[in-house]
Structure formats: structure tokens, C-alpha cells
Copies of this chain bind each other. A is one copy, B any other.
């Protein structure tokens, strides 16, 4: 953060709802917010992120466009009322995040900042010495149009990252809408067809996506699933927070909110009911005609109940093609073996992964609603008008008013602790990368009085062995009054990268035993070789 010229700030965990109303996020992120009123009945929320507050703070402290760029970061507790908190630190309702916010005067400068930050973030992840993926990502509720995620591949991960070895394409499944190969169009003519329900934001439209289920499922090639992003691309008013099992119930609840009995109630809403059937392009037109589409005329069995409640004015449509592109619908999540959408040559691999960092180029997503503007002398903007987003008001002959171009860049600190612990722990205990470990190495003497001076001799020798420019070793001596076995076991649990045991061979031969579970090292090392040996291990951790 120092290299980026960023200043550390500490914003309140509590934000006024008014600011979030202005930015429009109060409704879009609403269900995940912890909200409360103070004793004066003013509405507040526990911030999950701080775009609104930091934009207000920075724009009110700018005196001139020359004060830009501004970069500020903080490490603080954030809050999200998760539907299903799980996996300990991996998904919790209170978590620690490092967030960085950047402010530039023009779009090119903001993009240059964006790539400067992603490069620095990559360096930070490099230091963990654990494999990670940088994926193109969807901006979601945050807004903006350029975004990358930093992921650890792990089976506990909730994201799916698609990558292609040939061309280097890496993308979050949410972002990747992969078209199926032309030869698959209409290839499904069996009754192995499934359906998925979604609902519109205004609750007046029920979507049913029909898709072929795969025949060849395996761990690498799991059951086909609908890609909600793909449905939203076709029908942007989809409420992606409602899952399939609840969509039908919500549709009816909205039509007849007072309903006591299911059958008796007629639709009470003034809105026209719409049923839209989305049929994946892999389903052949013959099969498509045989689908038990819902509607007053052609349903049977349990679904008659549904029909009976449908208004006679209900609109029922079937879409086989994207209404904008007119291409056949491609509604499924990408699976390992699908063709890479970038190079169109090799097959992609899908990995489960956990998101640890996310960078966003926000542009004017927040500066526009929060009116975070700057005045620029006309001579600055004259030859590069396309680099700026000017406001509609405040233009003068000598100066022009433009929206500040922003970026935000988060790293999940507590989640990273959980993910690293989960990735590197073994049956004996934790294993920390050097940069996260409480100490680089622990020195454990046997505990008989004879060796009392040995740990300090080793401690000093290791410290003095450091050459200039190298990070100084951070060592600890476990001289607690507990048995040797207890302390060894505790060292394994704590997960020090390196353990130096001062045992019986010290008195006679000045030899220690050096242990490193991650590198499967357990070796006697003479005192004079100890510094080189320990440093060579640490360089790999």
C-alpha cells in the first residue's frame, strides 16, 4: 500500500442509510445488510464495504484536481447478513477486509491505477507462495465494468473458475457465458430434460428455463446446471437472489398477498401475469414442442393447480433464441471439457476456488450519484474530451466539471487466514506461509538444565547470519515449563514454518534437528550450517 502512495484511514463501521439510498445500493444489497435505528429513529447499517462513505469523504476534502490521484486504504471489520454463514472464517457475518479506494481525474488515469493495483495485489499473493488464479469477474452489485478476482483453488471453494491452458483465459463461471458448439444445437431429443425457475424483480413474471441434463456425469463433469448470469443476460430483470425452489411461491405470493387458501384466491395484482419459457438451444425443436409447458391449455396433474390460478389475461411465451442477438439460447454453466470461448480451440478446466481478493474499476458508478466532481481547466481537457465524464451542469468557458473516476480493491483478511489454514493444514496441525506465520522458526530445547544457553546461542547465530537486504529472521524460543513432547506437539499445532530441536546431540556434537512438515524435512544439521539450511527452507515457504 505504501508503494501505491496510499494513506491509511479508519472509517466508521456504521453508515447512514441516506448515503446508501443516494447510491442506490440500499435496495440492491438490502437483504444482506444489518440495519438498525438509533434512539432518534435515524436509519443506519453496518457497512459491508465503504464506497459511499469514502467517496463523500475524499470528494469533500479535495481542493483542486491537482490533489488527485488519491488512494486510501483501511483494514477493518465488515458485516454481511449471510443467508448461510459456513466454513468458519470462509463465510462469516463479521469479517476483516483490507479495502483500497482510488480516485483519478480521467478514465485512462483510473485504468492505469487499476492495473497498477492488480500488479501490486499479485505481488502480495506471490508472497504467500501458494498457487492462485486471477480471473475475469463479474462486477455484481458493486457496479463498474472491469473487475478481476484472486482465487485459491480449493474444494471448499464456492466459486468455479474456468481456465484454458492454451490461451491463458481465466474467468469466473459467473462471468463466462460459453456458447455451445454449433454441432450441439438441437442435439438433445430425449426426455432427459430438466427445468429451473426464476422470477422478475417486480414479481409479475415467472421464468422457466428448460435444459438438457448430461448423460455422462462424473466428478470432473458434474450434473448440468443453469447459469443464472446467462438467464439474466437474456432477461435482465431477473432477480438473481431468488433461487429456483422459491420462485413459483414468490410469484403467487405477489399476485395474491392476502391468500389464505391456495386454490380460492384469484390474482389481485393489476400487473399482467407473464410466464416465459426459455428453451436451451441444445434441445431439438421436436423435443421443444413436446415440453409440458404451463398454461391454461396444456398442463396436467399437479400443475393444474398452478393453471387454475392463472389469470385469463396471462401472457405465455416461449423463447428459443436470445431476443437481442437472435442466437440460440445457451443457458448452462460451463463444464470441464467445454471449448474455450477465447481461443475456440482447447478445452477449458473448471476448478472450485475461494475468492480472496477482488479489484474493480468503478468509473463513475459512485461519483455520479454522490456528486463527487472536480473542476478541470479547459486546457487540461481540450484535446482529450473522451477521457472524461463531464457532468451536465457546471460547465464554464474556463473550466469543466467532471466526475471523479474511481476504483475499489478488496482483500478478505480473515477469509485468507481461513483459506490458507484450510489449504496447508495437515493431520498434525496448521502450516503457515512465512509471511503469515507468528514466527519464522521456533527453537525448542529438550528442557534439561544443561542446555540452557544453547537456544540463545542458536538464536543469536541465526539473527547475525542475515545479509543486508534480506528480511530479518523472526524467531522464538519455547522455554515454557512444560514437557518436551508437549512443546513439540504444540509447535506442530501452531504451525511454525520451521522447528529447530536442541536435543541430545547438541552437547556432544553441536548438532540440532531441523523439522519442516510442509517440505517433509527432518534432518540433523551441524551448528555452523544451520543459518544457510534454515534460510534455504524459509525461502521456499
Interface residues, chain A, CB within 8 Å of chain B? Answer: 12-14, 31, 34-36, 38-39, 44, 77, 79, 81, 83, 93-94
Contact = CB atoms under 8 A, between A and B. Distances in A.
Given A39-B81, A77-B77, A94 B34 contact: no
B38 A94 contact: no
Contacts of A44: 34
A298 B36 CA distance: 48
19 contacts: A12-B94, A13-B13, A13-B77, A13-B94, A14-B34, A14-B79, A14-B93, A14-B94, A31-B39, A34-B36, A34-B38, A34-B44, A35-B36, A36-B36, A38-B81, A38-B93, A39-B81, A39-B83, A77-B77
A479 to B, nearest CB: 15
A201 to B, nearest CB: 19
Nearest to A82: B39
Contacts of A79: 14
Contacts of A38: 34, 81, 93
Contacts of A34: 14, 36, 38, 44
A489 B94 CA distance: 42
Given A14-B79, A38-B81, A39-B83, 16 more contacts: A12-B94, A13-B13, A13-B77, A13-B94, A14-B34, A14-B93, A14-B94, A31-B39, A34-B36, A34-B38, A34-B44, A35-B36, A36-B36, A38-B93, A39-B81, A77-B77
Copies in the complex: 2
Nearest to A414: B10
A34 B31 CA distance: 19
A44 B39 CA distance: 16
Contacts of A14: 34, 79, 93-94
A79 B12 CA distance: 11
A502 to B, nearest CB: 25
Nearest to A83: B39
A86 to B, nearest CB: 15
A35 B46 CA distance: 12
Task: Tell which of A31, A34, A38 has the most Cβ of chain B within 10 Å.
Answer: A34
Contacts of A31: 39
A38 B32 CA distance: 9
Nearest to A96: B10
A309 B58 CA distance: 57
A197 B34 CA distance: 39
A88 to B, nearest CB: 13
A57 to B, nearest CB: 15
A273 B469 CA distance: 80
Contacts of A83: 39
A93 B37 CA distance: 13
A219 to B, nearest CB: 33
A240 to B, nearest CB: 17
Instruction: Please give me the 4 A-B residue pairs with the lowest Cβ-Cβ distance, nearest first.
Output: A36-B36, A39-B81, A12-B94, A38-B81
A478 B197 CA distance: 63
A101 B405 CA distance: 47
Contacts of A13: 13, 77, 94
A265 B94 CA distance: 49
A331 B93 CA distance: 49
A351 B227 CA distance: 69
A36 B81 CA distance: 11
A104 to B, nearest CB: 21
A406 B39 CA distance: 32
A39 B39 CA distance: 21
Task: Tell which of A39, A79, A83, A94 has the most Cβ of chain B within 10 Å.
Answer: A39
Nearest to A34: B36
A83 B40 CA distance: 9
Contacts of A36: 34-36
A35 B36 CA distance: 7
A26 to B, nearest CB: 15
A12 B78 CA distance: 11
A81 B41 CA distance: 11
Nearest to A12: B94
A40 to B, nearest CB: 9
A424 B38 CA distance: 34
A35 B35 CA distance: 9
Contacts of A93: 14, 38
A93 B16 CA distance: 13
A230 B8 CA distance: 48
A468 to B, nearest CB: 15
A14 B14 CA distance: 13
A17 to B, nearest CB: 12
Nearest to A10: B96
A13 B35 CA distance: 15
A137 B36 CA distance: 33
A348 to B, nearest CB: 36
A439 to B, nearest CB: 15
A79 to B, nearest CB: 8
